[in-house]
Structure 1
Amino acid sequence: MADGIDRRYLTSDQLHGAIHLNNVKPLRLVTPALAAKYLTITPHSLACYRNLGGGPAYYKFGRWIRYSIEDLDEWVNLQRQPGGSMPRKVRSAQKAR
């Protein structure tokens, strides 16, 4: 290091000002390949969603991309669509009114 400071570790002043979080669960992060398998889609489809901005939220650490299982579940729930057409009996009853 040029200035002789080891920047991998925080100084006591930095630690004093840090916010400590208690009872925080660690994130369960998976690779894009595992995320695609979890969602039962291809890794290419997941990459297309990511590039077009319509897919699940993701984390980017440098060049590595990771997905949280909770974010994948949330995205799946947002994709839920209402049921198909009404049954024939219901439609004919509504027309009669």
Structure 2
Amino acid sequence: RLQLIGLNASNQLVTYDLLQLTTNIPQPLVEGVMDLRVLYGIDSTGQRRTVDKWVSPNTSGYSSADLTNANGTSAAQAQTAMGNIIALRVGLVVRSDQA
């Protein structure tokens, strides 16, 4: 599966199937998410499978448009960039709806 995870306007963590094999509607996972931050762990050498740098998802070459060929990136470039992402660093701020 290839999924995009993000926040919707209702502060829900949602998942979206990029291949649209099951549905093209974002599916809520968790409510009360106030902030979501992600960094991609990149193996830029492609040899040792160890992270040698961390980049933001809006870094050139690693944006959602770059990784899905939406901005003219070739399929080979997108595949190489995805293959270089070997780890994720995720931060969440979640608020309970209980007082």
TM-score class, shorter: under 0.3
Q: Which has the larger radius of gyration?
A: 1
The TM-score normalised by the length of structure 2 is: 0.23
TM-score (norm 1): 0.23
**Higher helix proportion, which one?**
1
| Structure with higher RCO (Cα < 8 A, 6+ apart) | 2
